[in-house]
Amino acid sequence: MFDEIRQLSSEEMQALWTRGLSKGDSFVLGKKEYKVTVYTDKTFRIKNTKGVNFTFKIYHNGFFIEGKQANLLRGAEGEIRRDLLNEYNSFHICSDVFKLTVQALKNE
């Protein structure tokens, strides 16, 4: 699974983990906890513990992002890449975002 994820482009990596989400899911990203409040075929919304909403509009070729959404996705990509670098580190625990990416790949 690590090799499959390693071969993804940045855009694919940033988008893939979101496919493993569903309404009510919680995950940690960058030491902050997030919860999925809405997930439909056109939109998904993520809310952090401070009450900040991140809304994504889904299109046929991906989803529209700007500002804080882009930062959230870049943070997710960074965590995935860190997990890839620590593949053989027995003390490393993979991030929630990496686990969501693996789940999304298994469901394809």
Q: How far apart are CA 91 and CA 104, in angstroms?
A: 25
Predicted pLDDT at 41: 82
Per-residue pLDDT of 25-35, as tens digits, reads 999 998 899 99
Summarize the confidence of residues 84-103 as an average pLDDT: 94
Range of the domain at 61: 2-107
Q: Decide if pLDDT at 58 tops 70.
A: yes
Q: Which residue has the tokens 């500002």?
A: 67
Q: Which of 93, 77, 88 is nearest to 17 (CA)?
A: 77
Count of domains for the chain: 1
18 vs 61 pLDDT, higher one = 18
* Residues sharing a CB contact under 8 Å with residue 49, sequence separation 6 or more, in sequence order: 32, 33, 34
Predicted pLDDT at 13: 83
